[in-house]
Amino acid sequence: MGLLDIVPSGVITGDNVKKLFDYAQEHKFAIPAINCTTSSTVNAALEAARDQKSPLIIQFSNGGAAFYAGKGIDNKDQHASILGSIAGAYHVRAVAKHYGVPVVLHSDHCAKELLPWLDGMLAADEVYFKEHGEPLFSSHMIDLSADPKEYNIATTKKYFERCAPMKLWLEMEIGITGGEEDGVNNESADKDALYTPSEDVYEVYEALSPIAPYFSIAAAFGNVHGVYKPGNVVLRPELLEQHQKFVKDKISGDSEHPLYLVFHGGSGSSAEEIQTAVNNGVVKMNVDTDTQFAYLAGVRDFVLEHQDRLMKQIGDLSKGEGDSTPNKKYYDPRNWIRHGEKTMYKRVQQANSDLGNAGTL
């Protein structure tokens, strides 16, 4: 029995998200969460998942969502980010089922100053739920890891109580992911804060588990956003096993993995680090920096190869002024954008392979 015998294709929510993550833990794989900023990047990721027979997580960051709405829209009070997230969600819902893979529709890091963005998305979820019996999104992330632990857990609990009636999954972060991404800058964070104690993880579990089972924890184990030279980042994915055992012992549970864990800052990680994290109950790994560069590579290489055709509408510069061949097929955005999609497609498939997610349907 494969995954598609357990959950449907298209955007999944509620119990189906839980079933997906349970299946992933049981079969020792995780799902890449691909940050998307346009319909083109969404489609490239979905195409890669379809051809590899893999489930997928599509996610929008705050800045990525604002870009999706259009840079011409003012983002005062998170207006553009809310609009862009909702627009992206409807696009994913419209096309995902036609790619034939289960898709988790997610919003990425929401820090304290971005909470109006989360409020706006939740309002859209509630409207959609009234009409369709499920939320618009599959899940959201709240990230108050830079704030005091007590505030982080209490505020996360408050938002989870709002999510739970819709069976809307909530991801939270305890301990800090280093580096900088999308305007959230933790480059100067205390290095000790990059490694979450098991006691803190249990506090989160203790606060959220009585409400509903639909939550995951991004516990820091040295994670850093971006790609850095080898040796500059010290990941300790073995800490995740300690978290699982600590919580299991506290609750006297039977499951070896009572926690659904998330791997942030996955770009640039070694295959061994990824495998250790997956073996310790990670069900989701964020991939952004690497897919950004991969998309650029396709566009860049096309432009460099055809630069003599891209300097003007008619004529090849390398052939002199006498050439009058039209260049429309070169500068048509559908051409060079497609080259970006193709190279991003390959990087998404690499992430699937690294996580053991290829062929899991």
**Rounded alpha-carbon distances, angstroms, from residue 196 to 88, 108, 175, 350:** 33, 20, 5, 28
Percentage of the chain with pLDDT > 70?
A: 91
pLDDT (tens digit per residue) in 202-261 = 999 999 999 999 999 999 888 765 544 444 557 888 889 999 999 999 999 999 999 999
For residues 282, 7, 202, 357, the Cα torsion angle rounded to the nearest 10 degrees is 0
Higher pLDDT, 106 or 185: 106
Rounded to an integer, what distance in angstroms lies between the CA atom of residue 163 and that of residue 51? 33
Per the confidence metrics, is the pTM higher than 0.75? yes
> How far is it between the farthest Cα atoms of the chain?
82
Catalytic residues: 108
**Rounded alpha-carbon distances, angstroms, from residue 309 to 147, 320, 330, 331:** 53, 11, 7, 8
Average pLDDT over residues 146-155: 96
Enumerate long-range contacts of 181-188, CB under 8 Å, 24 or more apart: 181/61, 181/109, 181/225, 181/226, 181/288, 182/61, 182/62, 182/63, 182/64, 182/108, 182/109, 183/62, 183/63, 184/109, 184/111, 184/143, 186/146, 186/225
Question: Assign residue 261 a region: left if phi > 0, alpha if psi is -120 to 50, beta otherwise?
Answer: beta
pLDDT (tens digit per residue) in 306-342 = 999 999 999 999 998 889 999 999 999 999 999 999 9
Rounded to an integer, what distance in angstroms lies between the CA atom of residue 177 and that of residue 107? 17
Nearest CA to 352 out of 284, 257, 295 is that of 284
pLDDT (tens digit per residue) in 22-72 = 999 999 999 999 999 999 999 999 999 999 999 999 999 999 999 999 999
163-193 exposure pattern, b = at least 16 Cβ within 10 A, e = fewer: bbebbbbbbbbbbbbbbebbebebeebeeee
How much is the pLDDT for 179? 46
